[in-house]
A and B are shown apart, each in its own frame.
Chain A
Amino acid sequence: MKMKKSKKTDGCTRYDHLVWDYLEMDPDDPQRFEINNHLKSCENCRILFERTAGILQYLDFQRTLTPSPELSKQILNRFHEKKTTVVRLIYTLKSLAAAAIVVFMVAAGVFSGRFIAGKMVSEQTANIVDPVSSFAEETFFAEADFFTPGYELLNE
């Protein structure tokens, strides 16, 4: 933004802090006459005072503005909409949580079922007598009896 520095005289600085007060001063205030006299001869200050007056008038105008007459309705709609969204979100989260619990329970059931079944199978396997190894054992002893040196002597 291009700016132009206004040239200030020593007299101007005296009135600088009075701009806002001046605009709210009583028309008969003696200080107002003094400022008016200065403004007649100083263009810089006059422009500043005019601009400030413009701003104050604009502020007055803005203060007359009111929100849309539909404001309450709009807020209520948004409020209910938000509430519904929150309720929906909670409902969805609840459903998801319930589904997750069901899935977990099914998975746990399947896992524990397989585990128990696996354990039973291994126990059964442990109890079964291996016919091959028992036959070999018997044969070994039978043969051992036959080949043991001095066996005949002992039997005698």
Chain B
Amino acid sequence: MDLSEKEITDFINKFRNKVFRTCLGFVQNADDANDLTQDVFLSVFESLGSFRNEAQLSTWVYRIAVNKSLNHLRKKRTRNIYQNLETLFSKEDGYETHQYTHNPLIEQENRQEVSKMLKYALEKLSENQRIAFTLSKYDDLTNSEIAGIMGISVAAVESLMHRAKMNLQKSLQSLRY
């Protein structure tokens, strides 16, 4: 499908913040989210010809954003496994480097600490719980919109959200302080 420069720019401007926030919710890093957003739009433009109007355009874009983000996380996880193994074999105290050190009281301005805490808690969620939580909290989507993107029922999304919140709480409680 051939798109003019204006059409492309309009499309990007319409979805840029949504896509960026979705990616940010998954990767928890603005630079990575920016790169991922670019990848998402490139994929969208490449496959725009195959888009069937069965779903809303925004739903389709969200799906691509979620898939790209999950792929990014999977690749990163694999890289981390190798890096951790290297650290484990190269350093005696390799395991200690991955410890979470936390301040007793969360200070509002201490975003880095909270960011680490959130990242840790999000990693403990299952893939579906994470998708539901991210789309709800980062994109302010309704349960029915999330259900459309994930291809599941609204009740299933509600259940995922509840379990996600409970698991996040568990992770927050289990952190050393």
Contacts and interface: CB of A to CB of B under 8 A. Distances in A.
Interface string A112-142: 0000000000000000000000000000000
Contacts, number: 108
A76 B114 contact: no
Contact of B174 (A5, A19, A74, A76): A5
8 smallest CB-CB distances across A and B, nearest first, come from A54-B106, A67-B20, A51-B172, A58-B114, A3-B174, A54-B114, A72-B12, A4-B176
A57 B17 contact: no
Interface in A37-64: 44, 47-48, 50-55, 57-59, 61-63
A154 interface: no
A61 B104 CA distance: 21
B20 A75 contact: no
Interface residues of B, number: 46
Contacts of B121: 55
A14 interface: no
A51 B116 CA distance: 12
A75 B38 contact: yes
Interface in A73-99: 74-76, 78-79, 82
A66 interface: yes
Contacts of B45: 79
Contact of A17 (B105, B166, B173): B166
Contacts of B13: 72
B17 A75 contact: no
B17 A66 contact: yes
Of the listed residues A1, A6, A58, the one surrounded by the most CB atoms of chain B closer than 10 A to its CB is: A58
